Structure 1
Amino acid sequence: MKSFLWLLIGVALGFVVAHKVNETPKGREFFGTLDKKARDFGEAVSDGYRQREAELRSAIDGD
């Protein structure tokens, strides 16, 4: 239970620090870049999933 409390405190402090950093121009630039990279990664994973799904469906339909 004590570890969970420390985890919650760490998460809360992380949000507070991120909010303060986001108030600066360099912070907004950093989080904007981070957001773009995360979105690009998510799109790549999604595209790969769709491609693999199509391959598997094609293999199943071909049998």
Structure 2
Amino acid sequence: MKQLFFVAVGVVIGFAVAHQVARTPGGARLFAVVDASTKAFTGAVADGYRSRGAELRTDV
């Protein structure tokens, strides 16, 4: 129970720090880069998933 409390406190502190960092111009740029990278990665994973699904459907 004590560990769960510390995890929850850590998450809250992390969100608060991220919010403060995002208010600065450098922080906003950082989060924009992270967001773009995340979207590119998830897009590549989704494309690969669809491609592999198409391969499996045609091999039957």
Same fold, judged at TM 0.5 (above): yes
TM-score (norm 1): 0.93
Q: Kindly, what percent of the aligned residue pairs are identical?
A: 45
Q: Find the counterpart in structure 2 of residue 30 from structure 1.
A: 30
Q: Find the counterpart in structure 2 of residue 19 from structure 1.
A: 19
Q: Which structure is larger by alpha-carbon Rg, 1 or 2?
A: 1
| Shift of residue 39, structure 1, vs aligned partner | 0.3
Counterpart Cα distance in 1 of 2:14 and 2:3: 16
Counterpart Cα distance in 2 of 1:59 and 1:10: 49
Alignment RMSD, CA only?
0.4
Gaps of 5+ in 1: none
1:57 pairs with 2:57? yes
TM-score (norm 2): 0.98
Q: Find the counterpart in structure 2 of residue 46 from structure 1.
A: 46
Gaps of 5+ in 2: none
